[in-house]
Amino acid sequence: MNRLEQKLNELHSANRKALVVFITAGFPDMETTLATMEALEKAGVDVIEIGVPFSDPIADGPVIQASSDAALKAGVTLESIFALMRRARQKVRIPVLLMSYCNPLFAGGFGQTAKKARASGVDGFIIPDLIPEEGKEIKAACDKNNLSLIYLAAPNTPAGRLASIGRQSGGFVYVVSLTGVTGKRKALPQDTKEFLLRTKKEIHRPRFLGFGISNAEQAGRLRQYVDGIIVGSAFIELLKTAKTPRARAAKAARFASSLRRSIDMEEHNARTSKHR
């Protein structure tokens, strides 16, 4: 059992929803990423996703695209991310997943990538341009290294396929809230609730919702339909507003705490109402 599976078990027994935060590796620098990871854990974040920058991020909106470009210009590579992970693991205990497009993971051979990822303290991969049909070899290498390979589900995924993704995904299923790219939205589509209820019926595994969620209010409203909430672009925007790694990490931690509170709100309400 890796850290992710352990964490999912804990969340399940405590009947708690997960808070997952995405940040781009090395944006705006590696010290910020390291300090932010530590601060996020203290603020009650359950899982951290580290974005591996890529030159052609087709599933990302402008904010993550720009952070990815900046990280590449600063010289971030998979190797430097593994080095960062080894440092982070001196303090950070929560699961860390790498979110990466296929090509950077394949460049050195995926078998090697998986081995190095495991050794550096990574717990799994989210690969936005990999569907289960193309993932058999990747999955085998992940299994061999005790890494989770998380697949994604989309609003236009038919019922039978949702179930199949649920069976094949490692740990949880990344439920994409809308058809589109990452980045904040004023409002999610009208039929989001209906879609999420459909995923609940078909997927017998924790479902974490991402894409388009950027504030505590949205997170609080959507939490009841899923098992976890993923926030990314909003954190990247926040990191731009401070000048030092520590100040950036502190801002990220404050935002994470506010998300945490709104996600936990209903557990609190539920518990108090039971006591009555």
Residues that bind other proteins (CB under 8 A): 54-59, 61, 65, 69, 72, 77-79, 101-108, 128-131, 133-134, 151-158, 161, 165, 176, 179-181
Give 91 or 158: the residue with its C-beta nearer to other proteins: 158
Backbone angles phi, psi at 265, to 5 degrees: -45, -50
**Min CB(176)–other proteins separation in Å:** 7
Tokens 């009208």 correspond to 190
**Helices marked H in the chain:** 3-13, 30-42, 62-73, 78-88, 102-106, 110-120, 136-144, 159-168, 192-202, 216-222, 233-239, 245-275
Helix (H, G, I), strand (E, B) or coil at 57: coil
Long-range CB pairs of 8-11 (<8 Å, 24+ gap) are 8/171, 8/172, 8/206, 11/46, 11/206, 11/227, 11/228
Give 120 or 257: the residue with its C-beta nearer to other proteins: 120
**Min CB(20)–other proteins separation in Å:** 18
Give 4 or 71: the residue with its C-beta nearer to other proteins: 71
Active site residue 49: yes
**Min CB(157)–other proteins separation in Å:** 6
Of 49, 123, 202, 227, the active-site residue reads 49
Backbone angles phi, psi at 216, to 5 degrees: -65, -35
Backbone angles phi, psi at 58, to 5 degrees: -70, -20
Of 60, 123, 202, 227, the active-site residue reads 60
**Min CB(173)–other proteins separation in Å:** 10
Residue 97, H or E segment: strand 96-99
Give 64 or 88: the residue with its C-beta nearer to other proteins: 64
Give 59 or 238: the residue with its C-beta nearer to other proteins: 59
**Min CB(137)–other proteins separation in Å:** 11
* Residues annotated catalytic, as ranges: 49, 60
